[in-house]
Amino acid sequence: MSNSSTSKKSVLWDWLTTVDHKKIGIMYFFGGLFFFTIAGLEAMLMRIQLMFPEMSFLHEQTYNEVLTMHGTTMLFLAAMPLFFAFMNFVVPLQIGARDVAFPFINSLGFWLFLFGGLLLNLSWFTGGAPDAGWTAYAPLSTTSAGHGLDYYIMGLQVSGAGTLMSGINFLVTIVNMRAPGMSMMRMPLFTWTTFVTSMLILFAFPALTVGLLLLMMDRIFGGAFFDVAMGGNVVIYQHLFWIFGHPEVYILILPAFGIFSEVISTFAKKRLFGYSAMVFATMIIGFLGFMVWAHHMFTVGMGPIANAIFAVATMAIAVPTGIKIFNWLLTLWGGRIRFTVANLFALAFIPSFVMGGVTGVQLAMSAADYQFHDTYFVVAHFHYVIIGGSVFGIFSATFYWWPKMFGYRLSESLGRWFFWLFLIGFHLTFFVQHFLGLIGMPRRVASYLDGQGLNEMNFISSMGAFMMAFAFILLVINVFVSRKNTDDVQDPWDGRTLEWATTSPVQEYNFAQTPLVRELDAFWHEKQFGDGRMKAAEPLDDIHMPNGSILPIIITTGLTVASFGVIYSTWSIIILGLLINFGAMFVRSIKEDHGYHIPVSEIKREQGEGK
């Protein structure tokens, strides 16, 4: 490994070994986008199959696999990594840090996500993907033939381990690495939501780890956890899955709330209304998120008392969420609103997400849920919150932070086409699904009969899906044709938070001198009351940076090989993988890495170019 950043490394080697949070953020972005595209194509296959009654475009078994992989990929491998992309890139900048707390573990987390995702998708080429839905309920999952479910179990274990590491890394970074003056109550909302999201990851993912472990014990080692004939109990799996699964929903929405708070405040040119209420609402949502998991199990037969408790707890979440909605509206109120693409997505989010919230309260009524359960009403509900919330948040963040991440601005005019097509396509696809569900169309079924009043709405839904797919192509085109917009990228939106005080693209060390934070919206404060530059909290000096390392990839490769061995119950491959894995961990733990220093002269030269 090289001892200095100045020595020449090949570009590929640099990216494979990087521990720079910004490069890891960019890798998360493209990794997430790759899986988003795959999962989107899977959605299109389903909408083609359902475009007309009794279609035979997809075989039933294939349909089951496609629907399972669509959900699993979107949630674990697309939405979460795309949020991790922005968290990685933006949060250290927002708190004025040079790096994250654990750069090595950060890189390990990324590779685990990527290899876990690839392992899961390898199942397409080895005899069939998992087919038991993204929830993988037992005994459907424990009795599913072939190795599809084994890929599901091991792929998610590998990528889940990476997610857990990233969560701990964000938590410690936010607690320990803040610049002088950046108190907790001066942190930008996106940093706050990253903090609470990471807490949720920390306490939710281990439940999934155990759920998957028990599935593995049953499927691969002949255990009897979910084998009723041997005294097993399948409801235990449902509890474990949803103790993870409901917080997971908030893991997917809280970062979006943070993004919208940044975007709305920036483009209304106003300080966020009710900052402290926003922070506490985030914490309350995070806390209540752990109290409501059984609302997914109303029809299992838990009894009226348990159902009632979980119903009321679920409805209570509408209160802090409502506080947030009103605070966004009041931030906009009287603001000088600029309708940029980033802000358009934020503005469209408010009504779209409220619709998803209203159907959420409907579903929370446990008595009524017997009617809604397992119908397209549920499908419509969670797509309204996940697309109207999380995906809009991701797109908003993409347009907002793109200049900082990539050094050029995405085209606003092409972006507006993208926004309107996507928005209309989204509502076309999912609005009608409420009614499909109410008149009795079950979810997760490969076809429907003619003459039952389902034809027109299914056709409309499929047309909407095509519009969304077309809109997504416009986004990809935008990425390529906008490359020349390299002017005005340092602070294009007249930003408020610290990331806009850095150069674009950001230097390896983020800030030549650690900034001194004097107020909430630190950069905005200096623009209004200072000279428009951050005050320095330290003299200009050599900067210590960690060395890159190839070990994260080797550790991950070992773990992936071992997982592959587990899938096929082949001890030799398991042992080989574990040897690679523990060998690399051993090397890491005995090899002292002191990092390297960037000399003042080099920093001065780069700062001179930057200004």
Partner 1 sequence: MADQHAAANQPLPANPEKATLEGRNKYLGFWFFLGGETVLFGSLFGAYLGLRGSTEGAPGPDELFHLDLVFIMTMILLTSSLTSVFAVINLKRGHFKKLLVWMWATVALGAAFLSFEIYEFYEYYHQGLGFTVSAFASSFYTLVGTHGAHVAFGVAWITTLLIRYRKSGITLSNAPKFYTAVLYWHFIDVVWVFIFTVVYLLGVGG
Where on the chain is the footprint of partner 1 (CB under 8 A)? 101-102, 164, 168-169, 171-172, 175-177, 202-207, 209-211, 213-214, 217-218, 221-225, 227, 230-233, 236, 239-240, 243, 544, 586, 589-590, 592, 594-595
Sign of CA dihedral 57, 117, 191, 482: negative
Decide: residue 435, CB within 10 A, 0-12 exposed, 13-18 middle, 19+ buried: middle
Spatial neighbors of 13 by CB under 8 A, at least 6 apart, are: none
Query: In this complex, which beta carbon is closest to partner 1, that of residue 196 or of residue 475?
Result: 196
Q: Give me the residue whose beta carbon is nearest to Cu ion.
A: 246
Least separation in angstroms between CB 552 and partner 1: 16
Query: In this complex, which beta carbon is closest to partner 1, that of residue 142 or of residue 261?
Result: 142
Least separation in angstroms between CB 249 and Cu ion: 5
H or E stretch including 257?
helix 234-268
Least separation in angstroms between CB 205 and partner 1: 7
Query: In this complex, which beta carbon is closest to partner 1, that of residue 103 or of residue 464?
Result: 103
Answer with the entry of Cu ion, partner 1, none that 169 interacts with (C-beta below 5 to 8 A by kind). Answer: partner 1
Contact 489, 403 (CB under 8 A): yes
Query: In this complex, which beta carbon is closest to partner 1, that of residue 76 or of residue 426?
Result: 76
Query: In this complex, which beta carbon is closest to Cu ion, that of residue 160 or of residue 289?
Result: 289
Contact 416, 347 (CB under 8 A): no
Least separation in angstroms between CB 373 and partner 1: 23
Other CB atoms within 10 A of residue 210 CB: 16
Angle at 237 between CA 58 and CA 372, to 5 degrees: 60
H or E stretch including 545?
strand 543-545
Least separation in angstroms between CB 157 and partner 1: 12
Answer with the entry of partner 1, Cu ion, none that 246 interacts with (C-beta below 5 to 8 A by kind). Answer: Cu ion
Least separation in angstroms between CB 597 and partner 1: 10
Query: In this complex, which beta carbon is closest to partner 1, that of residue 460 or of residue 578?
Result: 578
Q: How far apart, in whole angstroms, are the C-alpha atoms of residue 439 and residue 583?
A: 58
Contact 200, 254 (CB under 8 A): yes
The pair of three-digit structure tokens given for residue 586, joined into one six-digit string? 């051993």
Sign of CA dihedral 67, 73, 78, 81: positive
Answer with the entry of partner 1, Cu ion, none that 419 interacts with (C-beta below 5 to 8 A by kind). Answer: none
How far apart, in Å, are the Cα atoms of 394 and each of 82, 224, 387?
7, 42, 9
Other CB atoms within 10 A of residue 301 CB: 9
Answer with the entry of partner 1, Cu ion, none that 424 interacts with (C-beta below 5 to 8 A by kind). Answer: none
Query: In this complex, which beta carbon is closest to partner 1, that of residue 11 or of residue 590?
Result: 590
Return the exposure string of 532-545: e unless at least 16 CB atoms fall within 10 Å of the residue's CB, then b: eebeebeeeeebeb
Spatial neighbors of 244 by CB under 8 A, at least 6 apart, are: 204, 205, 207, 208, 211
Query: Which 230-259 positions form the footprint of Cu ion (CB under 5 A)?
Result: 246
Answer with the entry of partner 1, Cu ion, none that 472 interacts with (C-beta below 5 to 8 A by kind). Answer: none
Answer with the entry of partner 1, Cu ion, none that 305 interacts with (C-beta below 5 to 8 A by kind). Answer: none
Please give the size of the binding site for Cu ion, defined by CB under 5 A: 1
Least separation in angstroms between CB 295 and Cu ion: 5
Query: In this complex, which beta carbon is closest to Cu ion, that of residue 185 or of residue 368?
Result: 368
Answer with the entry of partner 1, Cu ion, none that 35 interacts with (C-beta below 5 to 8 A by kind). Answer: none
Least separation in angstroms between CB 273 and Cu ion: 28
Residues that bind Cu ion (CB under 5 A): 246
